[in-house]
């Protein structure tokens, strides 16, 4: 699976949009971009995933660049409960692929 | 939907004893479940892939005789830490993949914190 690079930490003011970047320059055509987050002392929570089109759900939006070498997770109105470590993972579809967690981005929402 | 539970949520045991952790998919069937371990201030590390009705596949460096995995049904996988030692103290997390979904979304349990004295 392609390697991902994320900034180790970010701060965002409460109520503002949090934009979390992820680089995956070696991504191949059949690999999806998945985002999970882990709030302290809990299991990871699935947020969103996409292949090449931008995606939106009730939690977040995912913007994938046209060349697919990077993406941005957007939390439109960050709350204190969004403080967590956010993981960007690239994985092939089908086949019970293993998730490989990197170090992620520690997002802190500031009151 | 897509809820995964773990039991117990935390356990304290004496060195040398065995501890069993259960992982259940509550509202979907999972032919494949995954077991992870997370030490403080570190990321999740995959230990093994649990397949219903067959032997688990262990990651390199994980002792299969120490971490026994059983996936006897489509909704339950168990991890038994045998002869636990203090260095096995960690946060153990399972995940399950909904076999009805075509894509590779995994859903995680809340984790089990193990402390071996």
Instruction: Using DSSP, state whether B86 is helix, strand or coil.
Output: helix
In tens, the pLDDT along B5-53 reads 999 999 999 999 999 999 999 988 888 899 999 999 899 999 999 888 8
In tens, the pLDDT along A8-62 reads 999 999 999 999 999 999 998 888 999 999 999 899 999 999 999 999 999 999 9
Confidence of residue B100 (pLDDT cuts 50, 70, 90): confident
Q: How close B109 comes to chain A (CA, Å)? A: 6
Q: Are B12 and B83 in contact (CB under 8 A)?
A: no
CB contact under 8 A, A99 and B95: yes
- The token duo for A85 is 């470590």
Q: How close A71 comes to chain B (CA, Å)? A: 18
Q: Report the residue of B4, B98, B108, B113 to disrupt the A interface, i.e. the one with the largest count of A CBs within 10 Å.
A: B108
- The token duo for B112 is 């089990």
Residue A18's pLDDT is what? 98
- The token duo for A61 is 């939006």
Residue A93's pLDDT is what? 66
**CA–CA separation, B4 and B77 (whole Å):** 11
CB contact under 8 A, B108 and A46: yes
**CA–CA separation, B80 and B112 (whole Å):** 12
Provide the mean pLDDT of chain B. 92
Q: Which chain B residues are Cβ-neighbours of A43 within 8 angstroms? A: 4, 6, 93, 95, 108-111
Which is nearest to A98 in space by CA: A90, A88, A87?
A: A90
**CA–CA separation, A22 and A4 (whole Å):** 7
> What average pLDDT score do residues B103-117 get?
90
Residue A2 has pLDDT above 80, yes or no: no
Which is nearest to B47 in space by CA: B107, B98, B95, B5?
A: B95
């Amino acid at each position: 699976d392609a390697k991902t690079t994320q900034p180790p930490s970010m701060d965002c003011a409460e109520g503002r949009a949090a934009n979390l970047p992820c680089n995956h320059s070696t991504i191949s055509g059949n690999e999806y971009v998945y985002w999970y987050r882990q709030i302290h002392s809990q299991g990871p929570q699935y947020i969103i995933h996409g292949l090449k089109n931008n995606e939106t759900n009730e939690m977040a939006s995912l913007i994938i660049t046209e060349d697919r070498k990077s993406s941005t997770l957007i939390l439109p109105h960050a709350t204190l409960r969004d403080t967590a470590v956010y993981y960007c993972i690239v994985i092939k579809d089908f086949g019970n692929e293993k998730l490989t967690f990197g170090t992620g981005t520690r997002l802190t929402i500031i009151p | 939907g897509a809820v995964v539970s773990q039991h117990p949520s935390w356990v304290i045991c004496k060195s040398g004893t065995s501890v069993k952790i259960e992982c259940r998919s509550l509202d979907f069937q999972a032919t494949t479940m995954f077991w992870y371990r997370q030490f403080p201030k570190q990321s999740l590390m995959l230990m093994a892939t649990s397949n219903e009705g067959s032997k688990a596949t262990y990651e390199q460096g994980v002792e299969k005789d120490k971490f026994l995995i059983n996936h006897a049904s489509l909704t339950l996988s168990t991890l038994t830490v045998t002869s636990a030692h203090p260095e096995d103290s960690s946060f153990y997390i399972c995940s399950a993949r909904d076999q009805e979904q075509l894509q590779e979304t995994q859903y995680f349990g809340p984790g089990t914190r193990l402390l071996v004295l």
